[in-house]
Amino acid sequence: MDIILLQDLDKVGDKHELVSVKPGHARNYLIPKGLALVANDANRAKLDDIKRKEEEELAARKAEFVELAGKLEGKILKIGAKAGTSGKIFGSVTNVQLAAALKDQLNIDVDRRRVILPEDDIKILGAYVAELKLHPEVDIKVNFEVVEE
C-alpha cells in the first residue's frame, strides 16, 4: 500500500516521502495515529501545499536557528560517564545523552534524531564535535567532552 509519511519514522522513511508499506501496518497503525496518509490523487495534490507551508515555516524559523548557533558557539558540554583506568568508558555516549545535556546545561530542547554524532559509538573519554541538523541551511556544531564521573 502506498502512503505519504507525515513524520520521520525510523526504518520506514522520511517526512513527506511516498513509501510502500504492508497494508495492515498502514491501516492499523500509521494512518490511525496520524503518521501517514493514503497516497491517493487528492492527498498527493495536498502534499505540495503541505510542503510549501512547512518550507515557509522553516524559513521563518531560520533566524531562530542562526541565533541558536551563536548561543552554542564557544560552549563546551560536559557529559559524564563511568570509565576504566585506560579511559575507555563503560557503554557508549549516544545522541540521547547529548540531547539531554543540551537541555540540562544550556536549556536548549532538541530532538535526539537531529543530533548527529561524529562516530557511531563514542567509547573513549575526550573531546568531540557533534552536529545539529535543525535547518537545511544552518549547520550547528556542538563541542562536547566526555569526562569521568
Q: Which three cell numbers stand for residue 1?
A: 500500500
Output the average pLDDT for the chain.
88
The pLDDT tens digits of the residues spanning 46-96 come to 888 888 888 888 888 888 888 888 888 888 999 998 998 888 999 888 989
> What's the rounded mean pLDDT across residues 19-30?
95
Q: Assess contact for 125 and 147: CB atoms under 8 A.
A: yes
- Radius of gyration of the chain from Cα atoms? 19
Return the pLDDT at 140. 86
Top pLDDT among 62 and 31 is at: 31
Return the pLDDT at 38. 94
Domains belonging to the chain, first-starting first, are 2-63 (3.40.5.10), 67-148 (3.10.430.100)
Return the pLDDT at 68. 82
Return the pLDDT at 33. 95
Distance CA 144, CA 116 (A): 13
Q: What is the pTM of this model?
A: 0.69
Return the pLDDT at 136. 77
Return the pLDDT at 119. 77
